[in-house]
Amino acid sequence: MHSGRIFKNSYYLPFKSKCLSNVNNQLAEQSYHLHYFLLGTSHPFAENEIHLIEYNDQSCTVRNVEIFDHKEEVKHLVCLDMCGKGDAKGKDILVCTSVVVSGDVGRTSQLPVNAGGLEYRCFLHRGSLNNFDEEEFAAGEETDPGMEQMDEANQANQANQANQASRNLDDPGGEENGPAKSMTNELMNDKGAKQKSMSRGKGKAALDKLCELKTDQPYVGIKNIAVEEHEGEFRRIAVIDKYRYDIFGRSQSDMDFVTSKNMNHELNYGIFDPHHENILTVISDTNVYGYDTKNDVEIFSTFANHKADLSSLDFNPNIPNVIVTSSNDGYVKFWDLRFLTDAFLTVNIHSHWVTSIHFNNFHDELLLSTSSDNTVKLHKIDYPAKLNLKKKDTNYQLLKTYSDHEESVYQGRWSKTDAWVFASLSYDGKCVVNSVPTEEKYRILL
């Protein structure tokens, strides 16, 4: 659990979590130094929450914008859009979540449940942002609420110790002062108190369920939610289930079912190809498969030759056909889909499982990785001017290791509105927002 350290660039959830999403911000008048992320809690026996947080890269502080009530345990979370309402008097956020509920408690679906008695479902939600007041925070509210909480606790503790020292050790009043001192220590170490300070006592906002993404077959274990975007707006959503994927397309007023494909192997993760329409790439065990979803055919596959199961993959945003795979063996491998006989770069980047891997959205030489070794790492891949991936002429460099977490880091995400800001989330509910080192920014830009 937490060591009690509080940083200005940190945010704490009340429950454990593995759900982190960057925010596709479509606000017309948006400050360039503000960045938004969504966090979802995963508590099987409590009412869960989805938190929208804002990071100010000028003051390096994080604040809570809104807390949404979400009854079910959040397993996966993707922010599809954040935009102004039609009447220009408010702001809305569009979210897709996958949840798991007991097949016996609070069940509303008529679909059968899996062998474990659990029901997996996927929903689209819309929420209104009632506390979205960026001007007040940007104008100079640079004090982190968690730091204020710690300062107050330190002052109370120091005053308590001074008062205790002035008393005689035999004074019975010294015993009465013990509970007060204990309460001060609890305040300093209680994560719930820190979270209450960060949320500023706001009430929870409601999420409206717009529709459920489902077919005639029940989900048996949703692995992730993949989104295909075009010019900054989402077009299709793929629900990657344990033994199949379902794809839903966006229409003017609803989400329409497009296609589904059953598999003979268990899937771990899936992602759309940003360079080629209708191509979905999935991983299973130590294999990578590519499918043309329009014609329902497999177009490529390869054995990734990792020593453990694959955990994630991502496409290079600027160079077509280049992907990176990560594995529980601590390695990442870079592939050219045109030459799948061997990876053109293999690097051991972590001492334990690699839980996520992401190319930078703007500068493809930057790579972000998270791991169950409690670290977040920033990497740089140098591609030569005349790129020939078949000759494997690429160079790797570890730029920085971030050790802000005390537990396994399960998610990392780049900001969608800035090339240099990224967030990471560990299992204990701690989210940390960091930036690419300044000297590295200048090396890339100049």
Distance of CA 226 to the CA centre of its chain: 13
- Strands of the sheet containing 430-435, edge to edge, are 10-12, 430-435, 421-426, 409-414
Answer yes or no: is pLDDT of 350 > 60.
yes
So what's the pLDDT on residue 385?
64
Query: What is the residue extent of each domain of the chain?
Result: 1-105+114-133+203-213
pLDDT in tens, 69-78: 998 999 999 9
Distance of CA 437 to the CA centre of its chain: 21
Answer yes or no: is pLDDT of 229 > 70.
yes
So what's the pLDDT on residue 269?
97
Query: What does the pLDDT average to over 27-47?
Result: 86
So what's the pLDDT on residue 256?
93
The single-letter code of the amino acid at 398 is L
Contact (Cβ atoms closer than 8 angstroms) between residue 359 and residue 317: yes
Query: What does the pLDDT average to over 372-389?
Result: 84
The single-letter code of the amino acid at 145 is P
CA–CA distance, 190 with 2 (Å, rounded to integer) = 9
So what's the pLDDT on residue 178?
40
Query: What does the pLDDT average to over 52-67?
Result: 92
So what's the pLDDT on residue 53?
94
**CB neighbour list of residue 108: distance below 8 Å, 6 or more residues apart:** none
Contact (Cβ atoms closer than 8 angstroms) between residue 355 and residue 372: yes
Q: What angle, rounded to 10 degrees, do the helices at 191-199 and 173-189 form?
A: 60
The two structure tokens encoding residue 82: 């954040």
So what's the pLDDT on residue 430?
96
Q: Is residue 31 very low, low, confident or very high in pLDDT (cuts 50, 70, 90)?
A: confident
Q: Is residue 147 very low, low, confident or very high in pLDDT (cuts 50, 70, 90)?
A: very low
Provide the mean pLDDT of the chain.
Answer: 81
- Strands of the sheet containing 207-212, edge to edge, are 73-84, 91-102, 118-128, 207-212
Q: How many C-beta atoms lie closer than 10 Å to residue 171's C-beta?
A: 12
Contact (Cβ atoms closer than 8 angstroms) between residue 79 and residue 53: no
pLDDT in tens, 401-432: 999 999 999 999 999 989 999 999 999 999 99
pLDDT in tens, 154-179: 444 544 444 443 333 334 344 333 43
Q: Is residue 46 very low, low, confident or very high in pLDDT (cuts 50, 70, 90)?
A: confident
Q: Is residue 112 very low, low, confident or very high in pLDDT (cuts 50, 70, 90)?
A: low
So what's the pLDDT on residue 101?
84
Q: Is residue 202 very low, low, confident or very high in pLDDT (cuts 50, 70, 90)?
A: low
pLDDT in tens, 252-285: 878 999 999 999 999 999 999 999 999 999 999 9
The closest of 341, 360, 348, 375 to 418, measured between CA atoms, is: 360
CA–CA distance, 416 with 167 (Å, rounded to integer) = 58
